[in-house]
Structure 1
Amino acid sequence: MQDFISFGQWWIPSKPEVRIPGTLSFSSDRDARLELMGSFYDGSSVEKDITSDVILADQENLLKAGMKELEFIEPEEIIILGLIENNEEITLYKCSGRIANFDFVESTHTLVFYAKYILRKIHISNEESIKFKSIAIEYSYFREWVGKSGITPYIKKDDQVLIKSHPLENIYLTKINDLDISITCFQMFNQFENRYFGTAYYKINIEQKTYLTISNYDNKSLSECIDLFIHFRDFLSFAMSKPTSIISVEGKLDVPVPRYINKEEFQEQEIIILFGLGGNLSNSETKLSLHDMLFTFNDMEDRLGEIFTAWINNQEKYTPVFQLLMTTIYTPNLYINYGFINIIQALESYHSASDRFKDKGKYQKSEKYKDGIYKKLLEVIEDFARESVGEANGISDDFRAALKGKIKGLNQITLQTRLNQLIKNISDLLPSNFIGDVQDRELFASRASKTRNAWTHHDEKEKEKAAKGNELIQLFHTLTVILQVCLLRELNFTDDSIKKVISRNTNYQRQWRSPSN
């Protein structure tokens, strides 16, 4: 989605005669911004009764003078219409405004609106008409990830090159929330029909674009469709092991076309949809090859719909895991120690939430711990001497309360134990030489957990002993592989497919090794 700034004329559907000049600016990392040189409204403020229990000094003076407090308007407009350069029609959808600048002497102000969506090349005056039949989105490296092409070159004798081109059939994936999802391809050619007979050709372009397309037969809202696209963007970023960006979004809807008196027909129109999306890296900011990707479409083929559905269904259960992972992926320039902390905390959170470790997160069953050592420790803390002038070793009430809180969590296993359990649980899915033997894996878990504790608790002495430099990078990549295996299994990948994608994974090739090896 290309950033742009354009000057134009703007109005709201209820007052089409009031047209205000203003500048529309769009950047893919935030909502569109419309700055008006005037206002759609008669005034900039509204009267407000002073009813607060606490009367400020300036409000008290207003009351004495029999006046009311003024409050600047913060308008909400579902739709704002405009015409920008080249008379292009613009519909701004879901807008909220505020007073940006106010001149008390001249009683003039600047009104700014923020729009969630920009619909280009169309005017839609009411929300009920914003019903997209389908929406197609293009992601960076998506066509390479899908790996399907309808363009085939043939090299024959005498240096002849023939190019065969045929359109690909749509690949249906699944239905989610009454939205049908497919992979669609479109081929673009030079406009041969515009050439005169006998014209020499020096260049012919043939390009295939690949889209994820939603068919919206049940008139779901634009927001529901976009949410699904964002989920798929995150899924692709996980699959590619690098951030993927949104290149373009195009929607089709039926618009009325007047034909006869008191009668209109509808025809399909394709428009461009723009919306702000934090962290949406442009395609030029990251380079990616198939060798960098964790898995591709060819690794799952007809199971992509099922796997993507599992991705969405796991979002709530593993919310912290996905948030930490996505933050790390979408921040490629993140300092390695922060990336390391994100991934190891994601693994800790996964272990706590996964049903696979439901009865393994505590040293004892909760009731046994509560009725046993916890009860004894609580008695000791309760009976311990109070801090006073005559008691040198007594403790304060705050310290006593803090100790009571700490012993509640003493039954939770350590991070090192969690890592050992995770590795053991997925060992059959890892290459046989991953990290090393059992002793090496235990050393790895110890090294990773101690390094996390040193960075988290900011203990300078422990930081000196913690992993750094190349070893910290290796710990990061190794932990990432472990997290990837855990999530692939949650996405219902088969054991054989997990082994296949991990064995060729570049993170696996940069794994941590024991210094003794």
Structure 2
Amino acid sequence: MSSDPLNLDASGEWAGLWWLPEDPGHRVPGVLRYEPDCGLTLSLIGAFEDRVTTTPTPGVLIVHEGRRTWGVIHGAADQREISLFGCFPNSSQRTFGARVKTPDKQTVVATTALIGAHIGGEDEAAFSTTEVSVEELGHWAASTVFEGFLSAPDGRPDGSGSISVKPVEVQSAEVDGTVFSLAHRHTLPFFDQRRGETVGRMVDTSYIKITRRDKASSLIDAIGYARLIQDLISLATHRAVGVIWIRLKLASNENTSGSRGLRPERNVDVLHSPSVVGKGDAKAATHHHVFFTCEALPFEKVMPRWCDMHERLQSATNMVLGLRYAPARYVENNLLTAVGAAEVLHRGFDIDEPPIPSRDFKPMREAMLAQVPVEHRERLRGLLRNDPTLRDRLYALAARPDHEALSILVPDVDRWARRTTRARNDLAHEGRTPNHELEELMAIVDVTTGVVILNLLNELGLSVERQREIVRGHPKLRATARSAQSWLTTSKVNS
């Protein structure tokens, strides 16, 4: 049996017996299939009872509308235990009263599968370790086990050279009792003899290993860790990155509560549908398309900062990364998302200062309300808020990153803040943006997104030198700066 993790971009099939945990004596043969585009489907020769029934009196069965769903289905296939979660019947074919008696058939769809363990639920703390591989992780790690040597006496290559393997030291960071480790796994040398050539090959895989010191993890925890790593690499590379594989280690009984007997640590593979399925053999991004790697921000520094940011600024991060994972086809949707991300990010920084001191605002509000008829006071009270405006928030965000880097991206902060506020307010309050051309709206989306990203990179601790390199050298941000110069500067508009 292969020890390689099951890649989420590869199809799989497992034929075996399947049963409900509460009724292990009723086992149904069937085949579980996984397809990257379609997910998990269990085809049964036989069926689980999916009708919703009651028996008000002995001998009387009432069938109600709707179908049953099953939180967990267990199976045994290809010499491995399998657990399916989030299961519901897609189709059922019964043969009651048929002229020729044949087996029932049923198709069940599952959201998640564990290949290698029987678990009672997605929240059961049963795993000692989570291992995650996502796209671009090796590039971001800026390390590899391979070293190459090309012989070039007198400055001229003579056709000889070598590739050697040198183990890479594991980098680790601990965050609130959880240890994150950046590790490498490589294959042994393999020589593929072909008819016209011989190919020598080794594979180096970078992955993140997550271990809790004080307690075991659940499947829900593992998928959360995968999302945490996926979002970090997506921010660092400024592109949608997919999850390639997730592998768990089943903990022994001393690390889990309620387990039965000693369970040796063994590999358990996770099959589910992340936001993007990673392709392990796809070509990596080029250096100029990556914001930062572990060379610019070491792993032991970035992980604690990212864990704090991901929890504290998750809504803003989700919104701005959503523009990479699922960009809308219409600029209006992207405008609301980008500006919303900026507003939410400012709130997440917890730097709101009321425009009017509270000691002055409260008596002012009460004095104004005293002039309003009683029946309208509550409505007006809700409108009299002492919060920063959107323009205030945009100015504040522009002041946080490195000034030189921000000025390259946004040469005229005042006009960007005013035009962005006008566009958002027109769209939100009037349902249209009659005062903006399409190209200006697109520039507003890109510039606002860039400001949010620059703030996130600054919050991670990226140096001012690297921030300046990014806005000068990254193709997307260079294009954004040109758009800002064309559409969001007063000098251009007046010329």
| TM-score normalised by length of structure 1 | 0.75
- Aligned partner of 1:435 among 410, 419, 425: 410
Change (3 A) 1:448 1:283: farther
Kindly state the Cα deviation for residue 490 of structure 1 after the two structures are TM-superposed: 2.8
Kindly state the Cα deviation for residue 112 of structure 1 after the two structures are TM-superposed: 5.1
Preserved CA contact (<8 Å) 1:244 1:283? no
- Aligned partner of 1:26 among 23, 34, 37: 34
Kindly state the Cα deviation for residue 239 of structure 1 after the two structures are TM-superposed: 1.1
1:288 alignment partner in structure 2: 285
* Alignment pair present for 1:80 and 2:35: no
Which has the larger displacement, 169-178 or 145-154?
A: 169-178
* Alignment pair present for 1:475 and 2:466: no
1:32-431 correspondence to structure 2 within 5 Å? 32-40=40-48, 44-47=51-54, 69-71=62-64, 74=68, 76=70, 78-83=72-77, 87=78, 89=80, 91-98=82-89, 100-101=91-92, 106=97, 113-120=108-115, 122=116, 124=118, 131-157=126-152, 159-176=158-175, 178-191=177-190, 202-215=198-211, 218-253=215-250, 269-280=266-277, 282=279, 288-301=285-298, 304-332=299-327, 334-355=329-350, 357-359=351-353, 362-372=354-364, 374-382=365-373, 400=376, 403-404=379-380, 407-409=383-385, 411-426=386-401, 428=403, 430=405
* Alignment pair present for 1:449 and 2:446: no
1:465 alignment partner in structure 2: 435
Preserved CA contact (<8 Å) 1:480 1:507? no
Q: Secondary structure at the match of 1:445?
A: helix
1:439-483 CA-to-partner distances (Å, cap 9, x unmatched) read: x321121111112222333444xx2311422x3333222212211
Preserved CA contact (<8 Å) 1:243 1:281? no
Q: Secondary structure at the match of 1:294?
A: coil
Preserved CA contact (<8 Å) 1:92 1:115? no
Structure 2: how far apart are the matches of 1:375 and 1:125?
Answer: 59
Preserved CA contact (<8 Å) 1:420 1:445? yes
Structure 2: how far apart are the matches of 1:377 and 1:254?
Answer: 64
Change (3 A) 1:233 1:427: closer
Q: Secondary structure at the match of 1:351?
A: helix
Q: Secondary structure at the match of 2:491?
A: coil
1:300-332 CA-to-partner distances (Å, cap 9, x unmatched) read: 12xx33432232223443343123123222114
Kindly state the Cα deviation for residue 294 of structure 1 after the two structures are TM-superposed: 1.8
Residue identity in the other structure for 1:330? Y
Preserved CA contact (<8 Å) 1:167 1:187? no
Kindly state the Cα deviation for residue 156 of structure 1 after the two structures are TM-superposed: 1.9
Preserved CA contact (<8 Å) 1:253 1:268? yes
1:195-227 CA-to-partner distances (Å, cap 9, x unmatched) read: 8xxx99622123322111224564322332331
Change (3 A) 1:435 1:223: closer
Q: Secondary structure at the match of 2:312?
A: coil
Q: CA RMSD in A?
A: 4.0
Q: Secondary structure at the match of 1:137?
A: strand
Preserved CA contact (<8 Å) 1:182 1:214? yes
Structure 2: how far apart are the matches of 1:48 and 1:434?
Answer: 70
1:403-459 CA-to-partner distances (Å, cap 9, x unmatched) read: 5255323x33332232223223445362554433xxx32112111111222233344
**Percent of aligned positions that are identical:** 16
Q: Secondary structure at the match of 1:204?
A: strand
Kindly state the Cα deviation for residue 33 of structure 1 after the two structures are TM-superposed: 3.4
Residue identity in the other structure for 1:20? V
Residue identity in the other structure for 1:10? L
Kindly state the Cα deviation for residue 22 of structure 1 after the two structures are TM-superposed: 3.2
| Structure 1 spans left out of the alignment, 5+ residues | 50-62, 257-263, 384-396
Structure 1: how far apart are the matches of 2:387 and 2:120?
Answer: 56
Change (3 A) 1:152 1:170: closer
2:475 alignment partner in structure 1: 506
Kindly state the Cα deviation for residue 94 of structure 1 after the two structures are TM-superposed: 3.5
Preserved CA contact (<8 Å) 1:35 1:113? yes
Structure 1: how far apart are the matches of 2:52 and 2:14?
Answer: 26
Preserved CA contact (<8 Å) 2:132 2:208? yes
Preserved CA contact (<8 Å) 1:307 1:493? no
Change (3 A) 1:429 1:168: farther
1:485 alignment partner in structure 2: 454
Q: Secondary structure at the match of 2:274?
A: coil
Preserved CA contact (<8 Å) 1:46 1:73? no
Q: Secondary structure at the match of 1:164?
A: strand
Structure 1: how far apart are the matches of 2:143 and 2:431?
Answer: 52
| Structure 2 spans left out of the alignment, 5+ residues | 1-7, 254-260
Structure 2: how far apart are the matches of 1:316 and 1:367?
Answer: 33
Change (3 A) 1:296 1:354: same
Residue identity in the other structure for 2:206? T
Preserved CA contact (<8 Å) 2:338 2:449? yes
Preserved CA contact (<8 Å) 2:130 2:248? yes
Structure 1: how far apart are the matches of 2:287 and 2:444?
Answer: 24
1:221-254 CA-to-partner distances (Å, cap 9, x unmatched) read: 2332331121111111111111111112234447
Structure 2: how far apart are the matches of 1:67 and 1:267?
Answer: 48
